Structure 1
Amino acid sequence: MNRSLPLTISQRLSLYARLVRIDKPIGSLLLVWPTLWALWAASEGRPSWYFVFAFVAGTVLMRSAGCAVNDYFDRDVDKYVERTRERVLTSGLISAREALSVAAALALVSLLLILPMNRLVWALSVVAVFLAVSYPKFKRFFAIPQAYLGIAFGFGIPMAYAAVLETVPLEGWIMLAANIAWAVAYDTEYAMVDRPDDLKLGLKTSAITFGRWDVLAVGLCYLATLALLAVAGARLGYGWPFAAGLLAAAGVAARHLWWIRGRDRAACFRAFLHNTWFGFAVFAGIFAQTTVLG
């Protein structure tokens, strides 16, 4: 693209699409699955279709807004990382002001979707926005920022429970804890890809913090995720369909550990991308338990 010529509307929209990662849906899927876990569990397999639409659309919009905010804060760092140096903001194809405007517009539309819901959802949405905006700065000083990411990525869980039940029971918070452990697992795989660049820049990531114990730490996080989900399922009275979903998720996790054992950057990235099947397996178990057999 010739930067000396004015951009057409279609070219500018294409750049905005790249800014918010429309071409990389894995980030949205990693937020959508936990939200659907909670929505199906809270409604006993019969969620309102408006809730399904609003939470899926809102999750995708907030993830997109979060990408724009992340790139704004990282615009002076991304240029030194092989995987991110060609991002549209870092490379100067759009301005920092444009990125923030896109983020604000997406967040506003997302918030409009929850207007028909109750006040607890509204209150939790404020926390969700704070988490999305603060994560890029938080990861500059916290040794395992992936744990904070897990809270941000999983906050659709308490919001879904609040929308359906007007409260968040203990199993909702247990699911959120499970999502935190899962996020540390999959985002450590992701961080293993960038570890050489992050070490040069002095950034904080779980892959650096765990060091040579990184693969073991990922395995333990997957184990903690499955254990916490099992506890939540027991509280909900779930039986073999949910257990089958967890068993399938365990198989997915085992495959990831096999892939990342040599710490090859391409293999670690492959494992990260494959985590959508972990989330799907858990959802399939909840769906079978509540909608098919419920």
Structure 2
Amino acid sequence: MTTWRSEGAAAPVADARSGNWVDRLAPAPLRPYLRLARADRPIGSWLLLLPCWWSTALAAVAAGRPYPDPVLLILFAIGSLAMRGAGCTWNDILDRDIDRKVERTRNRPLASGQLSVKAAFAFLAFQLLVGLAVLLSLPRFAVITGVASMGVVAIYPLMKRITSVPQVVLGIAFSWGALMGWASVFRSIDDPALLLFAGSVCWVFGYDTIYAHQDREDDALVGVGSTALLFGEKSRLPLALSYIAAVALFAGALVSAGAGVLSALGLMGFAFLLYRQVVRLDIHDGAKCLALFKSNRDAGLIFFAGLSADALLQNVVSAGLI
């Protein structure tokens, strides 16, 4: 049976925006479920979605299509919402005892007792069914590609217990979408998709290192690993190197796919925002770390816009309209 405290009075989770739509508009009985799925913090869904959209847009460029397949973009958006929520639910089920000991996470629904574990498992099953419905709407090769990611997604929450670099596993899980768009269009995984995937892993490694600095002291007390603890005061250099690698690999993907100048301009805008993160990093300022982490959504959207504009431009040029 589902149990919760008085939801209207429940303390907000530390990194949720004050006055977010869940706290203001959602019916009280639904709030702990929406918080469990991080609906009050949509940045994670964006970061899971963006590699899917990049891959779809890059495939449009390579295939000579004027724009990314809108049906795929919508399906990936729904799937990202469902699977990010499922991943967070699974993470909180496994980490509920750890979360109670960490300042930023102690008010999460399971850690604070707003929801029972049984209710969380039922909600997890619902989200997985939504994700499965989206996956089965894709071509068979893409379905197989998507299923191959499930093992990585399942083990990620356990990695911080056994390694100092769980961000590598998170990078693989959050970057799988870089394969999915290409696989859905071409029914194969080719060099551009592999380069995009590898670059995305480096990108995730970097931004999640920034995010992990919010929990550095608590993680040390609890005894779990993270790159924030591993690198500490020297985090700026590995962050810069991971971002340089991401941009270089993305550039390779663009060349391999035959992308043009607008894709390159989008990548340059993306790279500039990553550069600003490196320059502005202050590992002792949790609020700034969170703001820098969230800026990756804008960086990713700039890259996607460049890819999409490039597909349109190349199609117009090939049609002899300009």
Partner residue, 2:60 = 43
Q: How many residues in Structure 1 have an aligned counterpart in Structure 2?
A: 291
The letter for the 2-side match of 1:68 is T
Partner residue, 1:74 = 95
CA distance in 1, matches of 2:48, 2:86: 13
Whether contact under 8 Å (2:270, 2:303) holds in the other structure is: yes
The gaps in structure 1 that reach 5 residues or longer are: none
Partner residue, 1:3 = 5
Whether contact under 8 Å (2:4, 2:114) holds in the other structure is: no
Whether contact under 8 Å (1:65, 1:103) holds in the other structure is: yes
Question: Does residue 284 in structure 1 map to residue 301 in structure 2?
Answer: no
CA distance in 2, matches of 1:103, 1:115: 18
Partner residue, 2:15 = none
CA distance in 1, matches of 2:299, 2:274: 7
1:260-293 CA-partner distances (Å, limit 9, x unpaired): 1463222111111111111112112211211244
Partner residue, 2:207 = 186
The verdict on how the C-alpha distance between 1:4 and 1:154 changes in structure 2, with shifts beyond 3 A counting, is: closer
Superposed, 1:237-256 pairs within 5 Å as: 237-256=258-277
Secondary structure (helix, strand or coil) at the match of 1:112 reads helix
The letter for the 2-side match of 1:49 is P
Question: Which among 81, 84, 92 is matched to residue 60 of structure 1?
Answer: 81
Secondary structure (helix, strand or coil) at the match of 2:148 reads helix
Question: Which among 128, 131, 143 is matched to residue 164 of structure 2?
Answer: 143
Out of 68-77 and 105-114, give the one that drifted further. Answer: 105-114
Out of 106-115 and 72-81, give the one that drifted further. Answer: 106-115
CA distance in 1, matches of 2:249, 2:284: 27
Whether contact under 8 Å (2:161, 2:225) holds in the other structure is: yes
Structure 1: 4+ residue segments shifted above 6 A: none
The letter for the 2-side match of 1:215 is R
CA distance in 1, matches of 2:264, 2:142: 30
Question: Which among 18, 23, 45 is matched to residue 35 of structure 2?
Answer: 18
Secondary structure (helix, strand or coil) at the match of 1:75 reads helix
Out of 273-282 and 37-46, give the one that drifted further. Answer: 37-46
1:67-111 CA-partner distances (Å, limit 9, x unpaired): 100110110000111110000110011011211211111111111
Deviation at 1:2, TM superposition (A): 7.7
Secondary structure (helix, strand or coil) at the match of 1:249 reads helix
Deviation at 1:234, TM superposition (A): 0.9
TM-score w.r.t. the length of structure 1 is 0.93
Out of 22-31 and 230-239, give the one that drifted further. Answer: 230-239
Question: Which among 160, 182, 194 is matched to residue 161 of structure 1?
Answer: 182
Partner residue, 1:121 = 142
1:36-83 CA-partner distances (Å, limit 9, x unpaired): 000111133533332121111111110011010011011000011111
The gaps in structure 2 that reach 5 residues or longer are: 8-25, 316-322
Whether contact under 8 Å (2:4, 2:113) holds in the other structure is: no
Partner residue, 1:236 = 257
Whether contact under 8 Å (1:59, 1:156) holds in the other structure is: no
CA distance in 1, matches of 2:287, 2:27: 33
Secondary structure (helix, strand or coil) at the match of 2:302 reads helix
Whether contact under 8 Å (1:38, 1:161) holds in the other structure is: yes
Question: Which among 19, 31, 47 is matched to residue 30 of structure 1?
Answer: 47
1:173-196 CA-partner distances (Å, limit 9, x unpaired): 111111110001100000011101
Partner residue, 2:218 = 197
CA distance in 1, matches of 2:212, 2:283: 15
The verdict on how the C-alpha distance between 1:2 and 1:279 changes in structure 2, with shifts beyond 3 A counting, is: closer
Secondary structure (helix, strand or coil) at the match of 1:12 reads helix
- Give the RMSD, CA atoms, in angstroms: 1.9
Deviation at 1:14, TM superposition (A): 1.5
1:247-271 CA-partner distances (Å, limit 9, x unpaired): 1112111221222146322211111
Partner residue, 2:191 = 170
The letter for the 1-side match of 2:245 is A
Whether contact under 8 Å (1:259, 1:268) holds in the other structure is: no
CA distance in 2, matches of 1:192, 1:4: 32
The letter for the 2-side match of 1:102 is F
Partner residue, 1:268 = 289
Out of 193-202 and 252-261, give the one that drifted further. Answer: 252-261
Secondary structure (helix, strand or coil) at the match of 2:97 reads coil
CA distance in 2, matches of 1:212, 1:293: 45
Whether contact under 8 Å (1:241, 1:289) holds in the other structure is: yes
